[in-house]
Amino acid sequence: MLKSLNTFFRISLAIFLLIISISVISIAGYFGYQKYSDRNISDLKRTHLCIGGDYLCALVSYKYDNNLKMKVKFHVGPKYISEDLKEDYDRRIEQFKAFFTGGKDLDQKVRNHPDYSRPELFNEIEKSENNWVILVFKDKDNFTIKEIKIKMNGSKMNLLNKNLELTGFEFELSEGISKKDYKKITNNYSLLWSGPLIDAIKLTE
């Protein structure tokens, strides 16, 4: 009888220790994932978006730093890019999205090409607050997480080429968002635009 109780006790103790071990591993794994997730939440992300008709595009960089922080650089879209520049133009965008740091020569080549400079376009679209775009961040199920409205007449920096010609606008933004909502954002974005913005662009053609 005593031997049976002793065996039962050993088995119960082994089961108890196994349960404790699994619980500790699970908890450690959970907090390890949370730590990894929180560490990577501040990583910089990039994308490239264009409005309908490819008149205007944007190089978008963003990250989480208690807010949704962004740099959005607008430049002329493929509609205005000739075959002479197209390959370099596309390669520059791919290098931007891939965080390639050795593309300064290519960047300058594209920026200083005549196709890339349309100062009349940018001068026109900044005349009115009705000329805007909305950058939309979505989750994996295509639900909207955050919308950022950018007015072309807002506070910004002008981007110039070597001849000091206007080639685009750069906006630096910081928008409130919870960490929980930011983690829901996937590589699923869209760019909306106002009708007057397209009308203003077409005035320059």
| Averaged pLDDT for residues 165-187 | 94
CATH 1.25.40 fits 44-80+119-202, yes or no: no
Inter-helix orientation angle 83-97/104-111, to 10°: 140
pLDDT over threshold 80, residue 31 = no
Backbone angles phi, psi at 5, to 5 degrees: -65, -40
Residue recorded with tokens 């962004």: 70
Q: End-to-end CA distance of the chain: give it in Å, rounded.
A: 99
Task: Quote the pLDDT of residue 36.
Answer: 41
Domain ranges of the chain: 1-33, 44-80+119-202
pLDDT over threshold 90, residue 3 = no
Residue recorded with tokens 């000739």: 82
CB atoms within 10 A of CB 190: 13
Task: Quote the pLDDT of residue 32.
Answer: 44
pTM above 0.85, yes or no: no
Task: Quote the pLDDT of residue 58.
Answer: 96
Task: Quote the pLDDT of residue 22.
Answer: 56
Minimum mean pLDDT range among 17-31, 42-56, 161-175: 17-31
| Averaged pLDDT for residues 6-14 | 56
One-letter identity of residue 108: Q
Give the pLDDT band (50/70/90) at residue 81.
Answer: very high
pLDDT over threshold 60, residue 88 = yes
Task: Quote the pLDDT of residue 30.
Answer: 43
Q: How buried is 183 (Cβ within 10 angstroms: 0-12 exposed, 13-18 middle, 19+ buried)?
A: middle
pLDDT over threshold 60, residue 35 = no
For the record, the structure tokens of 91 come out as 């390669």
Please choose, from the candidates 124, 106, 132, the residue with its C-alpha nearest in 3D space to the C-alpha of residue 202.
Answer: 124
Task: Quote the pLDDT of residue 106.
Answer: 87
Question: Distance between CA atoms of 146 and 79, rounded to whole angstroms?
Answer: 28
| Averaged pLDDT for residues 80-95 | 94
Question: Distance between CA atoms of 151 and 132, rounded to whole angstroms?
Answer: 4
Residue 134, SS3 per DSSP: strand
Task: Quote the pLDDT of residue 37.
Answer: 54
| Averaged pLDDT for residues 72-92 | 95
